[in-house]
């Protein structure tokens, strides 16, 4: 079983913001960071995330000792996501990264196909399994939102890892059943987006899980913010440590949009959030339905 670093650095916005120098510096910093391994995907920033990481790998002479880089297979622009597409996707990924092997390649957001198509003999999962047999990748994962769909893929028993996002946070527990089932099957669990995409970290984001929350859900976040203040706890630290402290999570995937955010993450990791705060969060009861339900 793959044992990831407790934190994985999410590179979904690498290449999407900043000028060329800032982007290159962020790619270098992500690969140099001892905070954890790096998560990217074929389609992040239209392929630029992988391309910038590839350029940084070339500049740096490869990964740091023990460092790992994960990526994901994506549908093509027309939404086609079959076995042939997966083989092209990995060729693109490895080409951009300048690597010949990846420790994990996830099936990423398979929303344009049914589960049956995903699991067909000529489908993407069969192609991923073949790549694993060939030694091009060590493990295959399912990485997506849509709780029921991810759960269904977990229950196929075909995967080594699962990445769920925005659904196991301080304010959302809907991924808990699928995470439990994944662990029962010995899968590695990546819990991505502990800040709900930012709202639990910076207080200015208007969305939770990339969607507009209901008034009730927003009120729940505000109640948590007040609870954190009452306990003298920084909400961003609490949101991060909610995931880090969970025995159900192998790695928490945090989105890093700049070098400043990377430095801030190093500080948040060191914050000790008192157990009484998490007890008080539990005492608030079941969170209301999130915009992702
Ligand atoms: N389907 C999938 O496979 C999937 C889906 C979603 C995510 N992921 C993975 O998970 C990673 C994390 O997702 P995410 O970035 O959407 O969510 P996230 O980790 O919950 O939120 C990251 C955002 O929070 C803000 N933030 C972070 N640290 C902060 C700090 N110290 N103070 C204030 N604000 C802070 C930043 O926003 P600003 O910099 O904009 O202020 C940052 O971009 C992605 O990069 C990706 O690798 C995978």
CA distance 194 to 200: 8
Establish if 293 belongs to a structural domain.
no
Place of tokens 């999570």: 249
Of 38, 232, 69, residue with least CA distance to 138: 69
pLDDT at residue 176 in the model? 97
Res 108: pLDDT:
98
Q: Is the dihedral of CA 88, 94, 97, 102 positive or negative?
A: positive
Q: Which of 201, 237, 292 to mutate to test the pocket of ligand 1 (most atoms within 8 A of CB)?
A: 201
- CATH number of the domain to which 68 belongs: 3.20.20.100
Instruction: Output the 3-class SS for 24-84.
Output: HHHHHHHHHCCCCEEECCCCHHHHHHHHHHHHHHHHHCCCCCCCCEEEEECCCCCCCCCHH
Judge whether 1 lies within some domain.
Answer: no
User: Does residue 58 lie within any of the structural domains?
Assistant: yes
As for how many domains the chain has, the answer is 1
Where residue 17 falls among pLDDT bands split at 50, 70, 90? very high
Domain annotation covers residue 126: yes
Of 192, 194, 256, best ligand 1 pocket probe by most atoms within 8 Å of the beta carbon:
192
**Considering only CA atoms, which residue is closest to atom 22 of ligand 1?**
255
Strand, coil or helix: 160: coil
- What is the overall mean pLDDT for the chain? 96
- Residue 163 resides in a domain: yes
Closest CA to 251 of 174, 159, 168, 131: 168
Per-residue pLDDT tens over the stretch 137-155: 999 999 999 999 999 999 9
CA nearest neighbour of 71 among 158, 143, 13: 143
Quick count: other Cβ atoms within 10 Å of Cβ 261? 18
Domain containing residue 38: 7-283
Indicate whether residue 54 lines ligand 1 (CB < 6 A): no
In a domain, 278, yes or no: yes
| Domain assignment of residue 289, yes or no | no
Task: Say what the pLDDT of residue 5 is.
Answer: 98
C-alpha span between 136 and 156 (Å, rounded): 22
CA of 87 to the centre of ligand 1 (A): 28
Q: Is residue 146 part of a domain?
A: yes
pLDDT tens figures, 47-90: 999 999 999 999 999 999 999 999 999 999 999 999 999 999 99
Ligand 1 centre to CA of 254 (Å) is 5
What is d(CA 291, CA 293) in angstroms, rounded to the nearest whole number?
Answer: 6
């Amino acid at each position: 079983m793959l044992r990831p670093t407790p934190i994985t650095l999410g590179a979904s916005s690498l290449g999407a913001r900043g000028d060329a120098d800032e982007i290159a510096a962020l790619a270098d910093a992500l690969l140099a960071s001892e905070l954890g391994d790096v998560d990217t995907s074929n389609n992040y920033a239209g392929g630029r995330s992988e391309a910038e990481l590839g350029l940084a790998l070339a500049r740096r002479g490869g990964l740091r000792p023990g460092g790992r880089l994960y990526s994901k297979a994506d549908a093509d622009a027309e939404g086609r996501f079959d076995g042939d597409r997966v083989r092209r996707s990995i060729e693109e990924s490895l080409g951009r990264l300048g690597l010949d092997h990846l420790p994990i390649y996830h099936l990423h957001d398979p929303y344009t196909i049914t589960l049956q198509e995903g699991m067909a003999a000529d489908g993407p999962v069969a192609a991923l399994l073949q790549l694993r047999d060939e030694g091009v990748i060590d493990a295959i994962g399912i990485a997506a939102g849509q709780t029921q769909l991810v759960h269904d893929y977990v229950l196929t028993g075909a995967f080594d890892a699962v990445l769920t996002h925005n659904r196991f946070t301080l304010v959302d527990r809907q991924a808990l059943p699928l995470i439990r089932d994944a662990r029962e099957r010995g899968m590695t669990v990546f819990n991505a987006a502990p800040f709900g995409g930012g709202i639990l970290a910076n207080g200015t984001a208007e969305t939770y899980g990339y969607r507009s929350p209901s008034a009730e859900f927003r009120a729940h976040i505000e109640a948590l913010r007040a609870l954190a203040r009452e306990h003298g706890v920084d909400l961003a630290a609490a949101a991060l440590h909610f995931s880090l402290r969970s025995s159900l999570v192998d790695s928490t995937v945090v989105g890093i949009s700049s070098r400043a955010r990377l430095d801030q993450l190093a500080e948040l990791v060191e914050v000790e959030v008192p157990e009484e705060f998490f007890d008080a969060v539990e005492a608030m009861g079941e969170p209301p339905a999130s915009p992702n339900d």
